[in-house]
Structure 1
Amino acid sequence: MTTFTLAEIAAALGVDAQGDGSLTITRVAEPATATGADLALAMKPEFADQISAGAAQAALLWQGADWQSYGLKGAILMDRPRYGMSKLSAMMDAGQGYAPGIHPTAIIDPTAQIGADASVGPFSIIGAGSVIGDNAVIASHVTIAPRVSIGADALIHPGVRIMADTRIGDRVILHGNVVIGGDGFSFVTPEKSAVEQVRDTLGDSSGTRAQAWARIHSLGGVEIGDDVEVGANSTIDQGSVRATRVGSGTKIDNLVQVGHNVVIGTDCLLCAQAAVAGSTVIGNNCVLGGKSGVADNIKIGDNVVIGAASAVLSNVPAGRAMLGYPAVKMDTHVETYKALRRLPRLLREFAELKKTVSKDGLSG
């Protein structure tokens, strides 16, 4: 069990503890279910109102909160308590219990290089010429193909598959069943296909004939920067000729698809079920909401926010917030949606006006 005093936690968060700093904290909890040894997470007044339902003696609160009015013996106050959660959760995380060293059932090619203090779990495979950095953790049932490079302090959870010619930076986290470096979805026909015809004409597929699809092999690999995190069951395809690239600091949620040749900048967020089609370039500090989609061969500038379930079908300039299908400026979409909701009433009013005009015309 991880145990800290309230003062130790406050110091780690860069603030002073309020009240009794010697209080022992063993875990964090929601206010209504917290026990005496828990730090209640009450980062908003509506959450703090639930403290009385539990037994917490200490809480993480917003700056300026009247912590004593909640019956607490101590508190940590922060301007941005949710940001404090990043350090607090790291302190309280007991980890997954991956054992140090190399498990006897692991299969490691003699030409692979394993860094100092790295861990390789049961039934994992590391291919020829691959390099695993210092202090990296390769959990159980992980497959690492030949010619893969993984940086220091990486954490590769069970079931991950990393294909050949993938380069992964330091402190990268890959969650369960991620696949990095699968073949890109690249197929071509001997003659112009219906898909190409529709793209060129925006709807006319006439004049094309049924053809078999020929596979274009992926030769480009994948390059992932430092401090990247990829959620469970997400996939990043390798490039056709050049590498698919994910910039340092980018965080990818569960069930996300990144297509071949895509370039994603630094410190981006790709939320659950987002999908980026091949050869698209996404700038730095962009956010793709859940279930959003980005078409192939387009460019998205820096600091762009794509709302959930939006479909981006054309280039997006830097700094823009987009929403809808097809995605347009967010304020334009909201205005259009409001107008659409008013449409049935306007049609009824229009029908009544038509009746009035018709009656007046007949009576005249």
Structure 2
Amino acid sequence: MKSFSLEEIIAIVNGELIGNCKDLIFAPEQIENAVKGNVTFIGNSKYARFWEKSKASIAIVYDGIKVLPGEGKAFIKVKNADLAMALILDAFEPEPPYFESDIHPTAVIDKTAKLGNGCKIGANSYIGKNVIIGENVIIYPNVSVFDDTIIGNETVIWSGTVIRERSKIGSHCIFHSNVSIGADGFGYRPSNDGRGLVKIKHIGNVVIGNAVEVGANSCIDRGKFSSTVLGDGCKIDNLVQIGHNSVLGRCCIMAGNSGLAGSVTLGDGVIIGGSASIKDHVTIHSGAKVGAGSGVISDVEAGKTVVGYPACDSREKMKQWVALRKLARN
């Protein structure tokens, strides 16, 4: 079990000490559940009221906190408690699952595949023809990587993930359990005789930049003609659908259960709230935000926040909701 002294915690977050504490810190914990030997976090004033009853030994606190730590306890003041929390969680992170051998004997690796130095491939994984895998890539058990795929250095792929043929993956990516990359897009048209549906095949691929993280059970479909693209630094939550030929700029965020239909374009830094739906061929320009549960059916200007179903400017939608509430009272 990892443990740190007060002095070591201060060094990790580069904070200012208030009070004193001699307890050895063995885990971080939320303020209501913390016990002696825990470090907790107070990111703003609404959580400060919990400190009086908290049993935590140390709290990482925001710059303007008004309360004092109390006898035998300590605060470490920082500019941003959330970013400090990230550093603490890094320090306490447990070791990853153990590989007894770098390449498990049950892994199936095509003779044409090329593996970089330091790669680890878990049990029952499949690496197809002409696959190129960079250095220090970790592939956990039961992963399938199909033909002609390229994976960059230091990428981590968790169990159950399927990466279809011709995908191009950058370096330092993380794909959590059961991610699907490069499956066919959803495309059908009624047949000429009216008796069924004709499948529109998708022969493109998926291109994913560097430092992209994709949550469990999310799906990124390949392009119909060319590529579905995720730019560097995009962060995709669990249970997200990204349709064929969609293009995401740099550092976009999509929260759980949100979805893009085909050929959606997101600029840099776009944020899509949970369960939001984006219609096909819509462009959401850089810096825009889409509220949770919203339905976007037309383009969104750069920097604008839209909410509602159908989505419109957040200030306009708030006025509509206020008017509806007043109408309901009459």
TM-score band w.r.t. shorter chain? over 0.9
CA contact under 8 A between 2:203 and 2:223: conserved in structure 1? yes
Report the secondary structure of 1:117's partner residue.
coil
Please give the per-residue CA displacement for 1:137-176, whole angstroms capped at 9, x wherever unaligned.
Answer: 1111111111111111111111111111111111111111
Could you say which residue in structure 2 is the equivalent of 1:284? 268
Structure 2 SS opposite 1:236: strand
- Amino acid across the alignment from 2:70: Y
1:130 matches 2:114:
no
Please identify, of 331-340 and 19-28, the stretch whose mean Cα deviation from structure 2 is larger: 19-28
Deviation readout 1:308-345 (Å, 9 max, x if unpaired):
11111011111111011111101111101111122234
2:287 — aligned with what?
303
Per the alignment, residue 264 of structure 1 pairs with: 248
Shift of 1:15: 2.9
Residue of structure 1 equivalent to 2:14 = 14
Q: Is the 8 A contact 2:22 2:72 kept in 1?
A: no
Query: Which residues of 2 match residues 16-31 of structure 1 at below 5 A?
Result: 16-20=16-20, 23-31=23-31
Equivalent residue of 1:123, what SS?
coil
Amino acid corresponding to residue 51 of structure 2 in structure 1: I
Deviates more, 1:66-75 or 1:50-59: 66-75
Within the candidate set 336, 357, 363, 2:320 is matched to 336
How far 1:213 sits from its partner (Å)? 1.8
More helix by share: 1
Contact 2:128-2:148 within 8 A present in 1 as well: yes
Counterparts of 1:235 and 1:47, CA distance in 2: 36
Give the aligned residue type for 2:57: Q
**Cα root mean square deviation, aligned:** 2.0
CA contact (8 A) 2:21 2:57 kept: no
Contact 2:69–2:75 (Cα < 8 Å) also in 1: no
CA shift for structure 1 position 52: 4.0
> Normalising by structure 2, what TM-score?
0.93
Q: Separation in 1 of the partners of 2:62 and 2:23? A: 19
Distance 1:20 1:133 in 2: 47
1:228 and 2:229 aligned:
no
- SS of match in other structure, 1:24: coil
CA distance in 1, matches of 2:219, 2:95: 24
The 1:114–1:128 alpha-carbon spacing in structure 2 relative to 1, beyond 3 Å, is same
**2: CA distance, partners of 1:95 / 1:313:** 45
Question: Partners of 2:313 and 2:50 in 1: how far apart?
Answer: 39
| Residues in 2 aligned to 1:149 and 1:341: alpha-carbon distance in whole angstroms | 54
Aligned residues: 329
Whole-angstrom distance in 1 between the partners of 2:274 and 2:83: 22
CA distance in 1 between partners of 2:17 and 2:104 (Å): 43
The aligned counterpart of 2:84 is: 84
Contact 2:240 2:255 in 1 (8 A): yes
Q: Structure 1: how far apart are the matches of 2:67 and 2:321?
A: 43
Q: Distance in 1 between matches of 2:79 and 2:216?
A: 32
Q: Shift in Å at residue 216 of structure 1?
A: 1.9
Which amino acid counterpart does residue 79 of structure 1 have in structure 2? Answer: K
Taking a change above 3 Å as real, the CA distance of residues 64 and 319 of structure 1, as seen in their structure-2 partners, is closer
Q: Is the 8 A contact 1:40 1:51 kept in 2?
A: no
Rg larger for: 1
Do structure 1's residue 244 and structure 2's residue 231 form an aligned pair?
no
Find the counterpart in structure 2 of residue 5 from structure 1. Answer: 5
The secondary structure found in structure 1 opposite 2:60 is strand
| Amino acid paired to 1:93 | E
1:178 alignment counterpart:
179
Where do residues 38-117 of structure 1 align in structure 2 (5 Å cutoff)? 38-65=38-65, 68-99=68-99, 101-117=102-118
* TM-score, normalised relative to structure 1: 0.85
Offset of residue 7 of structure 1 = 2.5
1:274 correspondence with 2:258: yes
Structure 1 residues 22, 104: CA separation in 2 closer, same or farther (over 3 Å shift)? farther
Identity %: 33
Could you tell me whether the CA contact under 8 Å between 2:28 and 2:40 is conserved in 1? yes
Contact 1:23–1:74 under 8 Å retained in 2: no
Q: What are structure 2's unaligned runs of at least 5 residues?
A: none
- The yes-or-no answer on 1:254 pairing with 2:238 is yes
Following TM superposition, by how much is the alpha carbon of 1:211 offset from its aligned partner in structure 2, in angstroms? 4.5
Q: Which residue of 1 is the match for residue 147 of structure 2? A: 146
The worse-fitting range, judged by mean Cα deviation, of 332-341 and 68-77 is 68-77
Letter in 2 for 1:164: E
State how far apart, in whole Å, the 2-side matches of 1:179 and 1:267 are.
20
3-state DSSP class of the match of 1:102?
coil
Q: Secondary structure at the match of 1:338?
A: helix
> CA contact under 8 A between 1:48 and 1:70: conserved in structure 2?
no
Moved over 6 A (4+): none
Deviates more, 1:76-85 or 1:221-230: 76-85
Please name the residue that 1:205 is paired with: none
